[in-house]
């Protein structure tokens, strides 16, 4: 129970990641933990008679340093839920918008 969260935390804050995902089958137990660490529900799939829920974080929008500050604040306040919009960077451009902006900048 300790090795998974500790190794995940080390991975999340020490590498330049775009996304992190965690899939669980016991959402009643684990869901509140991911809510607390500001990972958002990304996907729910039923497979082999069990519901699998995937939580994730887009590190491009909520960088590790900002996330650590949020975790520090939540340790004192007990807050939960998705990260506040004020902490999020704008979403990355999708392929179509990126291509449009790239061609426009060449003009």
- For residue 4 the two structure tokens come to 């998974």
CA of 92: how far to CAs of 32, 59, 101, in Å? Answer: 28, 11, 12
For the segment 41-100, what is each residue's pLDDT rounded down to a tens digit? 999 999 999 999 999 999 999 999 999 999 999 999 999 999 999 999 998 888 898 888
Q: Is a pLDDT exceeding 70 seen at residue 11?
A: yes
Q: How many domains does the chain have?
A: 1
pLDDT attached to residue 107: 58
What's the domain range around 72?
3-106
Reported confidence tier of residue 27, pLDDT bands at 50, 70, 90 = very high
Q: Which of 56, 49, 1 is nearest to 23 (CA)?
A: 56
Q: What are phi and psi of 33, to 5 degrees?
A: -70, -45
Structure confidence at residue 103 (pLDDT): 82
Q: Is the pLDDT of residue 106 over 80?
A: no
């Amino acid at each position: 129970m300790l090795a998974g969260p500790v190794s995940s935390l080390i991975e999340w804050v020490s590498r330049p990641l775009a996304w992190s995902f965690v899939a669980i089958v016991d959402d009643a137990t684990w869901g509140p933990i991911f809510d607390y660490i500001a990972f958002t529900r990304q996907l729910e799939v039923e497979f082999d008679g069990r519901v699998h829920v995937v939580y994730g974080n887009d590190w491009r929008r909520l960088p590790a340093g900002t996330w650590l500050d949020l975790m520090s604040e939540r340790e004192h306040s007990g807050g939960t839920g998705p990260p506040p919009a004020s902490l999020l960077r704008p979403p990355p451009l999708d392929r179509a918008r990126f291509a449009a902006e790239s061609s426009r900048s060449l003009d």
